[in-house]
Amino acid sequence: MKLEAKIDWKDGLAFRAHLDGFDFTIDGTPEAGGRNLGPRPKGLTLVSLIGCTGMDVISILGKMKIKVESFSVGAEALLADEHPKKFLEIKVTYRCNGAGITAEPLRKAIALSEEKYCGVRATLSPPVTINHEIVLNGENIPN
Amino acid sequence: MKLEAKIDWKDGLAFRAHLDGFDFTIDGTPEAGGRNLGPRPKGLTLVSLIGCTGMDVISILGKMKIKVESFSVGAEALLADEHPKKFLEIKVTYRCNGAGITAEPLRKAIALSEEKYCGVRATLSPPVTINHEIVLNGENIPN
């Protein structure tokens, strides 16, 4: 399977990114010489990770006929302080709400994504340490 | 150094992504159960990589007082055919145009990004094999 992306420089640190037929701007902070016309590129690695696992999980819950009221996935990353400032650790938080959802199928959907389907996670870890927590209807549940 | 991102599920496979104060939509293909309202998350790893190295290179060329007329960075990735469909190889193509640009400073700027500054590259490689080619004023130059 192949995948492509491209960025075209506009000015300063701003680039127009092209992916899957969509265009969006990325840029640096003013401190780095940019104008903040779009997000920094580094965090797109996090969106790639949580987008990939989030789509897996919502898709698996759908196949389980589980009715989800709201669902979000967050990521907090710790990066190296010295160049190259690579990702060291990522904590992923799955937050799911729904009156009829129990812990077990949610845990199973997340485990299926993390262990079998999520290609971005499999790319990053190892060497990046990725942990997760699960919050179901406002309460942390054990992994 | 810390970095955060979040995605909120909308419907189907569509999520709204939040990064650095910007919002954008990611979605799956119709074949996967999505509606193609935004790019797939997996390719964002490529945009993250080429965005990071692209900003490094244009910034370094600027510090070298080199006048760039146009600059783009492309990525082609080979992914595993079986789940998890992780990244195996990425080829990055730097295309730079400018009447006064010679090979040596461009090669040096790219090497500085790849060996010293680009945190996304340092995160991915190894285990992903990342190669590059450089096209200066329409002609491939040796690495």
Residue B142 pLDDT class (50, 70, 90 cuts)? confident
Tell me the whole-structure pTM to 2 decimals: 0.97
User: Above 90 in pLDDT, residue A39?
Assistant: yes
Q: Show me where the domains of chain A are located.
A: 1-39, 41-141
Cα–Cα distance list, B80 to A108, A132, B27, B48 (Å): 24, 24, 21, 20
The answer to whether B86 contacts A43, with C-beta atoms less than 8 Å apart, is no
Which residues of chain B lie closer than 8 angstroms to A26, CB-CB? 47, 51, 55
The answer to whether A124 contacts B124, with C-beta atoms less than 8 Å apart, is yes
Measured between CA atoms, the residue of chain B closest to residue A6 is B74
pLDDT digits (tens, 9 = 90+) for B80-108: 999 999 999 999 999 999 999 999 999 99
Which residues of chain B lie closer than 8 angstroms to A55, CB-CB? 13, 15, 26, 28, 32, 34, 41
> Residue A142: its pLDDT value, please?
83
The answer to whether A4 contacts B43, with C-beta atoms less than 8 Å apart, is yes
Q: Within 13 Å of residue B28, how many CA atoms lie on the same side as its CB? A: 19
Which residues of chain A lie closer than 8 angstroms to B77, CB-CB? 2-4
* Mean pLDDT across B126-131: 96
**Residue B60, min C-alpha distance to chain A (Å):** 11
Which residues of chain A lie closer than 8 angstroms to B16, CB-CB? none
| B86 neighbors A119 (Cβ within 8 angstroms) | yes
Q: Domain spanning A41-141: which CATH class is it, in words? A: alpha beta
* Mean pLDDT across B60-85: 97
> Residue A143: its pLDDT value, please?
76
Three-state DSSP class for B45?
A: helix
pLDDT digits (tens, 9 = 90+) for B3-18: 999 999 999 999 999 9
Structure tokens at B35: 């509606």
CA angle A80, A81, A85 (to 5 degrees): 50
